[in-house]
Structure 1
Amino acid sequence: MSVRCQQGFLMLEVLTAVVMMMALAAIAGLILQSVRLTAAAADHTTAVNLAQQQLEELKSAEGDCRLVSAARPVIINNRQFLIETVAEDSAEHSQLTKVTVTVSWHRQAGRSLELIMLYDFHPSTLSALQR
C-alpha cells in the first residue's frame, strides 16, 4: 500500500471515533436528564402523599379543625418537606370548613403543591342529611 492510502484510512478512523463519541455524549445527556426528572417526580409524589395524609388525619380527628393552623417539617429520604395546614370557614357555604394543605420542598428552586378540601364538621348538618 502506498502512503497516500494509509493516510485516508487513518482519517476515516478518526472521523468514526469522533462520531461515536458524539453519540455517546448525547446518550449520556439523555440519561442524566432522565435521572433528574425521575428524582423530581419522586419528590412530587412524596409531597402529594404527605398532603393527602395530612388531610386524612384532619378528617379523622376529633373536634373542630377550624382551629388548626400549623406548619411542621418532615424529612423523608434525606429530603426536607414543610407541611403547612390552614383551616378556615368556607366563603361558599357557612357549614363547610376549607382546609388548605401546602407541601413545599427546597430541591429545584423551592417547589410546592397545594391541596384544598372542603369538610363538613358540623354534626347538625350530618344528622339533617341522614333523615
Structure 2
Amino acid sequence: MSSIGDIRAAASCPENHEIYRAMVDLEARSTFAFQGSRWLADTAPHLLDADMRRAVTRARLAAHERMQLEARLPRHLLYVKGWPTSVPSHEDAELLASIRRRVSTLLGIDADYLTGPAVRDRYGDLIAAKPDRPAGT
C-alpha cells in the first residue's frame, strides 16, 4: 500500500478528487479503513462534504462495534483457508447468528443465516461442499 505521503500527494491532484471521494464512500459503507487502522478519509477531509464526514464518523463508530462483536467469535469456528472446519454447537450457532444480526444492522445489509439453525445448516452445507474433502466424508 502507499505511504501516507503518496496518498496525500495523490489526493492533492484535482483529477483524483472523485476517486478519492468514491474510495472514502467505500470506507464509510463498509466500516473498514483503507489501510488497516488508517482511514483514507483522514488524508484530505477538506475534499469531503458534511454528509460524507458524518458518514465516516458513523462508520468509525460502527467499525469499533463490529470489531468488538467479531472478537466474540469462538476461534474454533473461524474459517481456515476460506472454509469452516466444523459445524457449530447449538449455543455457538446462536452466538454466531446474534453477531450476524447485529453486524448486518450496523452495515445496513440484508444478511442471510440469522438464526442458530440457519447458521448450523450453512456450516454443514459448506463443509459438505468443500472441494478438498477426503473421499467418503
The reply to whether TM is greater than 0.5 is no
Greater fraction strand: 1
TM normalised by structure 2 equals: 0.27
Greater fraction helix: 2
TM normalised by structure 1 equals: 0.28
